[in-house]
Amino acid sequence: MIEKNVSLKPYNTFGLNAEAKLLARVDSILALQEVLADATLKNEERFILGGGSNLLLTKDISGLVIKNELLGIELIEETEDSFFVKSGAGVVWHELVIHCIANGYAGIENLSLIPGNVGAAPMQNIGAYGVELKDVFHSLEAVEMATGNVETFAAVDCEFGYRESVFKRKLKNQFIISSVTLKLGKEANVNTSYGAIEQELERLSISSPTIKDVSEAVINIRQSKLPDPKKLGNSGSFFKNPLVPTAKYEELKTKYPNILGYPAGENTKLAAGWLIEQCGWKGKVVGNTGSHALQALVLVNYGNATGVEIFNLSEQIMKSVYDAFGVHLEREVNVY
Ligand code: FAD
Ligand code: NAP
């Protein structure tokens, strides 16, 4: 059934008021193919919606929103050292993490509590605490919007990069991801070296952490510094951490000895939050929006912000970071 004039406020974590002219909820590949083949919908612009946690809606969606509700988690293969787990795109990402931890499937514990659905995870190769989706990714299935055909993509086809994939670039708006298969470990090779995980485990007096311990540590850290979208609208990190040539980083470091940079191949990854904070934005309230007091990289909606207002704030932040450091920030959030 196609719903008309649907408010998207409950479906985006910024809590922005925008309307979809048409909305279809699909819970199977067949239902999705039927919607794609429907002659009455043929001329409508199509927009794919997951959990709405990486989205800035600056206007109404005048076409058809396809809300991905394909569920199901399945262990499809087990080898000597790996579990192959296939998940429907509409499964909530953190529910997949909980399922894997409960069954001893190791590898995504550092990605605990990332909002959104499984289907969007490959879009920007979600990452946190030193782990990215690509590290455990096996393959995905996606339905081509133009034909309704189901295609399988291996990791190499997805062209994963830092918060990037082919689906955000060359194949943008061409495929609807319907399932994702992960290759997870039988042995827990926990990675605790990133950020505050080690301190948190120490605080909990845990010296040989299990994957569940690591997940709990990550959850504690995230809850202590990230605003809960249910209480304060946000979309997580609004900008990517910029990659700059290492020579540029060295030059900045002579001027700003405290600048935060991490090696990233031939480049250096700068902490965007630090750059934004230096420009005086951290905790600053601008009308109904602002940069969060505990994490400058997160822009928030104090209740009545519009997408345009948040977009304009992001422009101001980008300009001031460029003027101060000569570094271009790129938005991570998908702007519509
Ligand atoms: P949506 O916002 O619904 O969609 C995002 C984009 O993907 C849109 O362009 C949409 O059209 C497209 N899309 C969605 N589903 C599909 C599909 N099935 N097929 C094709 N295209 C699709 N991200 C991280 O990487 N690491 C983090 O640690 C992290 N922390 C966050 C913390 C908070 C508090 C919040 C609010 C966000 C955070 N994010 C993080 C961002 C966000 O959670 C992820 O990017 C997540 O994968 C988005 O999923 P979603 O289902 O909400 O996508
Ligand atoms: P943090 O630990 O305060 O670190 C600040 C930045 O420095 C992070 O962005 C991180 O880059 C980088 N960093 C820290 N330690 C690093 C290391 N050992 N090696 C390389 N880079 C390092 O960050 P935070 O804000 O609390 O977030 C913690 C983790 O959750 C990060 O991985 C972050 O990406 C993720 N997160 C993502 C979002 C989102 O919406 N995308 C939102 C909240 C949190 P990276 O970002 O590349 O990891």
pLDDT over 90 for what percent of the chain? 98
Would you please indicate which residues are annotated as catalytic (active-site) residues? 163, 237, 332
pLDDT tens-place string over residues 71-82: 999 999 999 999
- The architecture of the domain spanning 233-335 is Alpha-Beta Complex (3.90)
Q: State residue 20's pLDDT score.
A: 98
Give the confidence band of 283 by pLDDT, cuts at 50, 70, 90: very high
CA 263 to ligand 2: nearest atom: 20
Q: Does the structure show a pLDDT above 90 at 148?
A: yes
| Residues 6 or more apart whose Cβ sits within 8 Å of residue 75 | 83, 84, 85, 103
Q: Does the structure show a pLDDT above 90 at 58?
A: yes
Name the residue with the closest Cα to ligand 1, atom 20.
176
Top CATH class of 73-185 equals: alpha beta
Give the confidence band of 195 by pLDDT, cuts at 50, 70, 90: confident
Average pLDDT of the chain?
Answer: 97
Q: Does the structure show a pLDDT above 90 at 232?
A: yes
278 within ligand 1 shell (Cβ under 6 A): no
Q: Does the structure show a pLDDT above 90 at 45?
A: yes
CA 12 to ligand 1: nearest atom: 2
Structure tokens that stand for 162 in this block: 């830092």
Q: State residue 1's pLDDT score.
A: 84
226 within ligand 1 shell (Cβ under 6 A): yes
Alpha carbon distances (Å) from 129 to 151, 198, 269, 292: 31, 11, 14, 20
Cβ < 6 Å from ligand 2: which residues?
127-129, 194-195, 225-226, 236-237, 241, 260, 262, 271, 273, 295, 332
The pLDDT of 271-283, averaged and rounded, is 98
- CATH code given to domain 2-68: 3.30.43.10
13 within ligand 1 shell (Cβ under 6 A): yes
Cβ distance 215 to 97 under 8 Å? yes
Give the confidence band of 145 by pLDDT, cuts at 50, 70, 90: very high
Give the confidence band of 65 by pLDDT, cuts at 50, 70, 90: very high
User: Which residue ranges make up each domain of the chain?
Assistant: 2-68, 73-185, 233-335
